[in-house]
Amino acid sequence: MTRILHVVGARPNFMKAAPAVLALRTRGVPQVLVHTGQHYDAAMSDIFFRQLAMPAPDHNLEVGSGSHAAQTAQIMTRFEPVVLREKPDLVLVYGDVNSTVAAALVCAKLGIRIGHVEAGLRSFDRTMPEEINRLVTDQLADLLFTPSEDGNRNLVREGIDPAKIHLVGNLMIDTLVRLLPAACRPELTGVNGAYALVTLHRPSNVDDADRLRQLHRILTDLSGELAVVFPVHPRTRRRLGELGLDAASSALHLVDPLGYLEFLALQRDARVVVTDSGGVQEETTYLGVPCVTVRPNTERPVTVDLGTNILVGDDLSRIRPAVDAALQGRAKPGVIPPLWDGHAGDRLADLLVPR
């Protein structure tokens, strides 16, 4: 029977891989799980294996942090002997992080088949490291599993054989559907009533000191009106620390990254979410919660066309009016995109191992 090896490495990979792992397990498929170690803090990695009921990784490459070139090269060097030893028939890679493209490059050179989950997304912005990872991974993949029709269109336009493209829907939403009943609000002192939820970690927002200072000022102002809960990504924590802005104030709650169940409950109950995360744009659309995305573009246009997402572009002065509109009940309504239904992992598994 087909032997499948999954490669995960960074926080959003876990929510995308779990449904595939579980669906293939119920079909009795032999599986190997490789964690690259791109994310390694317990709050960025271990907690998700427990909460999502994922098996522990069979291999951890423990690459850690580094420049793009250093991290990608380390993953490639350490992954190659593992994949040669494990001899999978297919390697599944997820999303758009450095672990995704590094594993795909190794497999392509070894002639091992690659399946890309979340194929075809495009921001058309090559200043984003993720866009480079998406373009390269999709060119190398043998099977391209897309979450939405726009993904199919992008791939066909780039010359990918339509026979390789399979619209299966959104695996990250499978995890949400499965675990929403178990979502559980964390105890946060001082957060009793309405609150806004914030995540920011894109280099374009947090690695630029002026922009990060301005964002912090906007959030501090907002916290004068309602509590702001901001689970801080380690990249952002470091940058805020460098600017001396990492102390929580009475209503701006800068907390450590949260577990999935805790963060999901906070999204569900938030009056508004302000983010630059890819996954959070999708989850808020599913939950019907207004989402203000601090980016000029998105590789997930269905969250804008159909969902609750709005992009405020590069102009930070647009954040507050967008948040106020949501607080006043004037956010645009949204619907759940097609095939974001909790069964994408099953559709993917059925393609790989027909029952």
Contact residues for ligand UD1, defined by CB under 6 A: 10-12, 38-41, 44, 65, 96-98, 129-130, 201, 233-235, 238
302: left (phi over 0), alpha (psi -120 to 50) or beta: alpha
Which one is catalytic: 35, 39, 59, 201? 201
Give me the count of residues in the chain.
355
Torsion angle defined by CA atoms of residues 223, 224, 226 and 231, in that order, rounded to the nearest 10 degrees: 10
Counting residues that bind ligand UDP (by CB under 6 A) gives 15
Does 88 participate in binding ligand UDP (rule CB under 6 A)?
no
Nearest to ligand UDP of 9, 257 (CB atom)? 257
Tell me the sheet residues that pair with 5. Answer: 32, 91
Phi, psi dihedrals of residue 343, rounded to the nearest 5°: -120, 15
Nearest to ligand UD1 of 130, 346 (CB atom)? 130
Assess whether 201 carries a catalytic annotation: yes
Nearest to ligand UDP of 22, 280 (CB atom)? 280
Structure tokens that stand for 192 in this block: 């009793």
* Closest distance of CB 109 from ligand UD1, Å: 20
Residues 114 and 89: beta-carbon distance below 8 Å: no
In eight-state DSSP terms, residue 38 is: S
Residues 118 and 94: beta-carbon distance below 8 Å: yes
Residues 256 and 232: beta-carbon distance below 8 Å: yes
> Which amino acid makes up residue 133?
N
Per-residue binding letters, 217-256, with ligand UDP (x by CB under 6 A): --------------x-------------------------
Per-residue binding letters, 261-300, with ligand UDP (x by CB under 6 A): --xx------------xxxx--x-----------------
Nearest to ligand UDP of 82, 239 (CB atom)? 239
Residues 152 and 117: beta-carbon distance below 8 Å: no
Residues 309 and 281: beta-carbon distance below 8 Å: yes
Structure tokens that stand for 198 in this block: 């914030």
Instruction: Look at residue 15 and give the partner it binds from ligand UD1, ligand UDP, none, a contact being a CB closer than 5 to 8 Å depending on partner kind.
Output: ligand UDP
Nearest to ligand UD1 of 41, 161 (CB atom)? 41
In eight-state DSSP terms, residue 170 is: -
* Closest distance of CB 9 from ligand UD1, Å: 8
Instruction: Look at residue 39 and give the partner it binds from ligand UDP, ligand UD1, none, a contact being a CB closer than 5 to 8 Å depending on partner kind.
Output: ligand UD1
* Closest distance of CB 279 from ligand UDP, Å: 3
* Closest distance of CB 85 from ligand UDP, Å: 30
Does 260 participate in binding ligand UDP (rule CB under 6 A)?
yes
Structure tokens that stand for 304 in this block: 């804008």
Q: In what order do the strands lie in the sheet with 4-8?
A: 59-60, 31-35, 4-8, 90-94, 113-117, 143-146, 165-167
Structure tokens that stand for 8 in this block: 């995960």
Instruction: Look at residue 88 and give the partner it binds from ligand UD1, ligand UDP, none, a contact being a CB closer than 5 to 8 Å depending on partner kind.
Output: none
CA distance readout (Å), 132 to 68, 71, 171: 11, 15, 22
* Closest distance of CB 10 from ligand UD1, Å: 4
- The interface with ligand UDP within residues 182-221 (CB under 6 A) comprises 199
* Closest distance of CB 326 from ligand UDP, Å: 19
Residues that bind ligand UDP (CB under 6 A): 11-12, 15, 199, 231, 257-258, 260, 263-264, 277-280, 283
Active-site residue list: 201
